[in-house]
């Protein structure tokens, strides 16, 4: 296990290094300069600004400096908000995003498991049909459409929830619902398929033959075994939530990193975009590492072969 | 006891070669179907998938047919007819009869604008452009982006996956590592970065989506290739000295086709979703061009007062996504009957 873990962590560091390198050089490829009004500035002013942001050094020096900074969590200074370090900007904004993302993930997966399990238990009944319809709709309706509809009907018309503010828990309800719909649908579909498979296996027959109660069979044998493969879709679900958060945070005016990403893209704030790209892939890498380890613990075959299936 | 039964000669009939075929008709056997025919038959039995296929066909015909026949010019600005709600002749239900609630009273918006004789099925937008024509136009742009991106993505993914799976060993390991690195950055982030570099526009959206979403296809194709390459017929082809390229096209590709088709059905709605998200954020398609994403973005601004401006594009987008998802599910069951049992 220790060797497996060390290998995974080495790959994580390697991946992050490649991501940092790629984003750095991609940003260097970008057309234009970060200056808004280059024509109005004198040569010496431009030189001063370039010096301030370290843009006058050769590219390889800039790269090494950036790399050295990134390791210490320093992503340079934002172009959009002068004198504001990117790391400060992001650390003050990551909280709301994490909260909403985690809430959406937990809500989505738990409700998804329940919906999927009920669908599988009562196969081809109206329960199953409803579960299928819910999951297909959840996958087909984009989160930002759902966000606007929730905001309008539950927020504005019924007045149950605040519309576009950030404060306590009540402010997170609508964004969580909007973001949680896809994880809910995906996990419901996944659990249903897995459980239908498991329910027809021999050990379920055995458990029934032994005279276990229906709930005992479902809970101890069917559900538990259906949930193991669910770990593998947590990574893709995390990507989905990150993608969705960029738009949903905008709709609900949440001061999170998704909203910041869109803002930075629209204002060409390159250091912030780079910092955010690295943060996003760091979070995703951690999620993937975590799910890998978890899967390794639950299913020991993985550790030996190093691969699922 | 030795009674010999005398049978008349004419109760027997001599069978010649031609009549033997007639006897075969008494055999009980279904006509043998090819794999494609079999899958098609199963697909037709799946109601959801069959309806989806028809819906998609209608959407395609309408979206591309509007190039030839469009109810109105999608870009014709007519400020005096701005923000008219939808009006379908013959339907009196509020919401479809051209009336809207203004200051607590339901008024006929068409009469007010002096356009009683006209009707716009989905209403008009803030510039008085016919929303139905714009939705058709936007659907067309969204579909083109999704289809072209998927085509590229399919080419890259299938080639990469087949190569990786066929070669195996060290090359395979390195190629899989590369995929893992790509997968460890959220897709949308990469797409946004690429679009920034390539300058916003239709081509760069297509390139960005294609360059980021082939990984799933590559993984599936690789896994399938590794399985197929162990089969005897591949061994036979290799023994006979067939070139790898020919094996790939003649033996691998046909056997991979179901995996490829199924995954394509899930790639297309993904591409539509990415395009809509980009346009919604504001770095996708820029006006005067329109896509479902930009229409949603425009509609959302007025959602409180003119909800139909967002409902229509949202409805069309969701229906397309739904149809592709259901069709994908249906195709998966059709190609692999085991999954349904």
Ordered domains of chain A (ranges, CATH)? 94-255 (1.10.3720.10)
pLDDT recorded at residue A308: 43
Average pLDDT over residues A157-181: 80
CA distance B312 to chain A (A): 11
Enumerate the residues of chain A whose CB falls inside 8 A of the CB of residue B325: 136, 139-140
Percent of chain B with pLDDT over 90: 11
CB contact under 8 A, B281 and A247: yes
pLDDT exceeds 90 at position B148: yes
CB A194 within 8 A of CB A229: yes
pLDDT single digits (tens) B195-234? 888 877 888 889 988 888 898 899 999 988 888 888 888 8
Q: Which two tokens stand for residue A159?
A: 């007045």
Query: What is d(CA A112, CA A230) in angstroms, rounded to the nearest whole number?
Result: 11
CB A29 within 8 A of CB B197: yes
Average pLDDT over residues A159-166: 74
pLDDT single digits (tens) B258-278? 889 888 888 898 898 888 888
Residues 132-191 of B with CB under 8 A from A: 177, 180-181, 183-189
Query: What is d(CA B264, CA B217) in angstroms, rounded to the nearest whole number?
Result: 8
Enumerate the residues of chain A whose CB falls inside 8 A of the CB of residue B180: 11, 15
Mean pLDDT of chain A: 82
Q: How far is CA A118 from CA A68, A214, A299, B333, in A?
A: 52, 13, 25, 22
CB B206 within 8 A of CB B198: no
CA distance B21 to chain A (A): 45
Query: What is d(CA A37, CA A43) in angstroms, rounded to the nearest whole number?
Result: 12
pLDDT recorded at residue B91: 66
pTM: 0.81
pLDDT recorded at residue B341: 39
CB B320 within 8 A of CB B272: yes
pLDDT exceeds 50 at position A309: no
Q: Is A148 on the interface with B (CB under 8 A)?
A: yes
pLDDT-derived band at A105, boundaries 50, 70, 90: very high
CB contact under 8 A, A152 and B318: no
Neighbours of B263 (CB within 10 A): 23
Instruction: Tell me the ipTM for this assembly.
Output: 0.81
Q: Is B101 on the interface with A (CB under 8 A)?
A: no
pLDDT single digits (tens) A205-255? 888 888 888 888 888 888 888 888 888 888 888 888 888 888 888 888 888
CA distance B35 to chain A (A): 25
pLDDT single digits (tens) B117-137? 666 767 777 777 777 888 888
Q: Which two tokens stand for residue A270?
A: 């390159």
CB contact under 8 A, B184 and A285: yes
CB B217 within 8 A of CB B154: yes
Q: How far is CA B49 from CA A193, B41, B56, B262, in A?
A: 18, 12, 10, 12
CB A131 within 8 A of CB A118: yes
Q: Is A247 on the interface with B (CB under 8 A)?
A: yes
pLDDT-derived band at A110, boundaries 50, 70, 90: very high
């Amino acid at each position: 296990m220790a060797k497996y873990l060390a290998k995974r962590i080495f790959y994580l560091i390697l991946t992050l290094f490649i991501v940092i390198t790629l984003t750095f050089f991609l940003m260097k490829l970008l057309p234009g300069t970060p200056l808004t009004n280059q024509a109005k500035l004198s040569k010496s002013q431009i030189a001063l600004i370039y010096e301030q942001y370290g843009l006058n050094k050769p590219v390889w020096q800039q790269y090494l400096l950036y790399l050295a900074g990134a390791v210490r969590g320093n992503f340079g200074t934002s172009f959009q908000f002068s004198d504001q370090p990117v790391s400060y900007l992001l650390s003050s904004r990551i909280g709301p995003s994490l909260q909403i993302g985690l809430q959406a993930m937990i809500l989505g997966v738990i409700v998804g498991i329940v919906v999927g399990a009920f669908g599988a238990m009562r196969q081809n009944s109206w329960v199953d049909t409803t579960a299928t319809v819910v999951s297909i709709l959840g996958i087909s309706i984009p989160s930002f459409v759902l966000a606007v509809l929730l905001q309008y009907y539950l927020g504005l018309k019924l007045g149950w929830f605040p519309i576009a503010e950030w404060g306590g828990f009540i402010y997170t309800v609508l964004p969580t619902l909007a973001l949680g719909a896809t994880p809910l649908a995906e996990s419901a579909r996944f659990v249903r398929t897995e459980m239908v498979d498991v329910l027809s296996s021999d050990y379920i027959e055995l458990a029934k033959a032994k005279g276990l109660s229906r709930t005992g069979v479902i809970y101890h044998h069917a559900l538990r075994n259906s949930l193991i493969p669910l770990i593998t879709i947590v990574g893709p679900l995390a990507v989905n939530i990150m993608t969705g958060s960029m738009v949903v945070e905008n709709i609900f005016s949440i001061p999170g990193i998704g909203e910041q990403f869109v803002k930075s893209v629209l204002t060409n704030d390159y250091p912030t975009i780079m910092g955010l790209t690295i943060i996003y892939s760091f979070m995703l890498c951690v999620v993937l590492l975590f799910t890998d380890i978890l899967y390794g613990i639950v299913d020991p075959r993985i550790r030996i072969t190093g691969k699922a299936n | 006891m030795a009674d010999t039964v005398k049978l008349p000669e004419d109760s027997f009939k001599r069978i010649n070669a031609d009549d033997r075929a007639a006897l075969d008709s008494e055999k009980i056997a279904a006509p043998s179907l090819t794999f494609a025919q079999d899958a098609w038959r199963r697909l037709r039995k799946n109601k959801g998938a069959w309806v989806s296929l028809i819906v998609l066909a209608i959407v395609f015909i309408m979206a591309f047919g509007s190039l030839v026949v469009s109810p109105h010019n999608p870009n014709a600005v007519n400020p005096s007819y701005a923000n008219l709600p939808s009006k379908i002749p013959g339907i009196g239900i509020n919401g479809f009869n051209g009336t809207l609630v203004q200051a607590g009273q339901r008024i006929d918006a068409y009469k007010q604008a002096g356009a009683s004789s006209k009707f716009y099925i989905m209403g008009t937008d803030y510039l008085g452009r016919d929303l139905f024509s714009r939705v058709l136009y936007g659907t067309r742009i969204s579909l083109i982006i999704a289809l072209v991106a998927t085509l590229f993505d399919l080419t890259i993914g299938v080639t990469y996956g087949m190569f990786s799976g066929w070669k195996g060993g060290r090359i395979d390991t390195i190629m899989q590592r590369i995929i893992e690195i790509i997968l460890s950055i959220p897709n949308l982030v990469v797409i946004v970065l690429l679009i920034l570099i390539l300058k916003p526009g239709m081509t760069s959206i297509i390139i960005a989506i294609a360059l980021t979403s082939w990984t799933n296809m590559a993984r599936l194709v690789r896994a399938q290739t590794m399985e197929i390459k162990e089969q005897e017929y591949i061994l036979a082809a290799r023994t006979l000295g067939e070139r790898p390229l020919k094996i790939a096209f003649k033996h691998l590709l046909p056997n991979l086709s179901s995996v490829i088709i199924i995954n394509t059905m899930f790639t297309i709605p993904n591409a539509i979703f990415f395009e809509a998200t980009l346009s919604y954020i504001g770095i996708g398609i820029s006006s005067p061009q329109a896509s479902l994403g930009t229409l949603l973005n425009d509609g959302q601004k007025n959602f409180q007062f003119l909800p139909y401006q967002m409902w229509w594009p949202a409805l069309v987008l969701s229906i397309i996504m739904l149809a592709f998802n259901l069709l994908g599910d249906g195709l998966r069951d059709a190609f692999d009957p085991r999954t349904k049992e």
